[in-house]
A = this chain, B = another copy of it.
Amino acid sequence: MKFKNRITELFGIEYPIVSGGMVWVSGWKLAAAVSNAGGLGLIGAGSMKPDLLREHIRKIKAATTRPWGVNLPLMRADVEELLTVIADEGVAILFTSSGSPAMFTPRLKEKGMVVVHVVAAVKHARKAESAGVDAVVAEGFEAGGHNGLDEITTLALVPQVADAVRIPVIAAGGIADGRQMFAALALGAEGVQIGTAFAATVESSASERYKQAVVDAQDGATVLAFRKLSPLRVLKTPFALRAMQEEAAGKSKEELRELNGKGRERLGIFDGDWEEGEFEMGQSSGLVKGVLPAADVVANVVCGYEQARDRIADNT
């Protein structure tokens, strides 16, 4: 089926399906596979030093002629070096997350980039629109990884953001299949960003242990940990359960920061360390049933969208 709305037009893509720019997951291979399948693949700069980001950008240029983008967390200490790489390499589409869109968007727009900012509350969507972004990703509480403070779910957030801004909205959080994409568009979004389902694909950089953990996860398998620090949705692994216990015991921010230490995202997602790593994934993991090529995920989502459209007619 064919899609045509402001998101497909903005990016020049066939399907309004974006793969999240996930740390230790979204390298050039996954992004290129999604873009070649008609979606928008994002390279996740969050876990890359500037030189590595440059390498991934050069590789994706060789791997696809379709549109692709980069996701950059603006809170990075070396954000300026990363932005220099992004500008040097002529990246056309940039998704920014965390940090202030007001501080960065005007510079990025001057360079002619399409800029999209990720938000988790209506007030941040309004701020991003004022800063001049082209679209927002409205990401709900069910999303894997870093999460908003107000715990607003995708079903509640997307219509409220769609009512509040005039720019197009991409729904994210908990979305793995086509009936959910259909639901997201019904809520007022014009596209979806899918994370976990792409993290478990063949082309994802995640470890096999991580991918299998996504496939094995049931509906209640994840938890929002480190609420006091910076909320993070992870699988209930031994480390996550320990962290939850410490939080419940009233440990301070500082104690939790020390417990968390450094490098647990890599340890879990990339190295597959079950005991000590963080396995970031969303509540949609319960819907992921196998490790597929990314192109199959895109095709299944489009197919599920059509089925939902047909099925909903059965109710009337």
Contacts and interface: CB of A to CB of B under 8 A. Distances in A.
Interface string A279-315: 0001110110000000000000000000011011011
Nearest to A284: B156
Interface stretch (A36-44, A81-89, A95-103, A175-183): A175-183
A4 B316 contact: yes
Nearest to A5: B315
A155 B152 contact: no
A154 B155 contact: yes
B152 A179 contact: no
B159 A287 contact: yes
Interface stretch (A49-57, A104-112, A217-225, A267-275): A217-225
Given A149-B220, A155-B155, A156-B283, 6 more contacts: A3-B315, A5-B314, A123-B218, A141-B141, A142-B156, A185-B312
Interface of A: 1-5, 16, 121-123, 140-142, 149-157, 159-160, 173-175, 177, 179-180, 182-188, 190, 218-220, 223-224, 228, 248-251, 282-284, 286-287, 308-309, 311-312, 314-316
